[in-house]
Amino acid sequence: MNKPRSVLSIIDIGISNIGSVVRAFQRLGIQPELVADATAVESAHAIVLPGVGAFGDGMAALREKGLVEPLREAARAGKPILGLCLGMQLLADSSEEYGSHTGLGIIPGAVVKLKPGVGERVPNIGWCDVLPHDGTRLFHDFAAGTPLYFVHGYHMICANPGHVAATMSFGGGQATVAVEHGNVFGIQCHPEKSQDAGLGILDAFVSIATESAAS
């Protein structure tokens, strides 16, 4: 795939599976830049925010590195942003994980604990069938019911249902597993562990980022 090598900047907040995410983009022909300071975020064309672990720890790491306002400004400026796993949750207004925490507030909504149904467990670990919503840009080539790999105990409830890009069945209802709001995207799964389907989602974001960088 002939895409610009430095079109993506991946934020390293020290609690992310950076190596596997980098390798996933390398499989798509992209060599992303690793960034960890405000100046690099401000100069980035497009931003990937990965993360694992607890919401409060993720926000603390962003504050320590001075990245909260640069990320908010990047979203306001129209730069493509993709949150992965915890990174998706950090896009929300708040989380109830181990207390009450304020998020980036880029996509209005709250992160709440999953409520399992019969035969389900929290955290939810494993392959789950995903249902993309109409009009989603990340999932435009994604067949409904394709499984992706998850490890999570919380999910985002969007204030605007129109920001929900994909869901999965859980707890007798539908849990949000992807969000889209203009230039900002988030996916709850581990795309780097989701085989070709996960790579397809990342490639869709690369195309969005490439188009943005060229405009």
From the list 155, 163, 181, 190, the catalytic residue is 190
Catalytic residue status for 133? no
Active site residue 190: yes
**What six digits make up the tokens of 114?**
């999953």
What is the C-alpha to C-alpha distance for residues 33 and 64, in angstroms, rounded to an integer? Answer: 20
β-pairing verdict for 9-11 and 124-132: unpaired
Contact, 77 vs 86, CB < 8 A? no
140 tagged catalytic: no
Catalytic hit among 155, 158, 189, 192: 192
**Environment class of 175 (CB within 10 Å of its CB; exposed 0-12, middle 13-18, buried 19+):** buried
In the set 85, 97, 152, 163, the catalytic residue is: 85
Catalytically annotated residues? 85, 190, 192
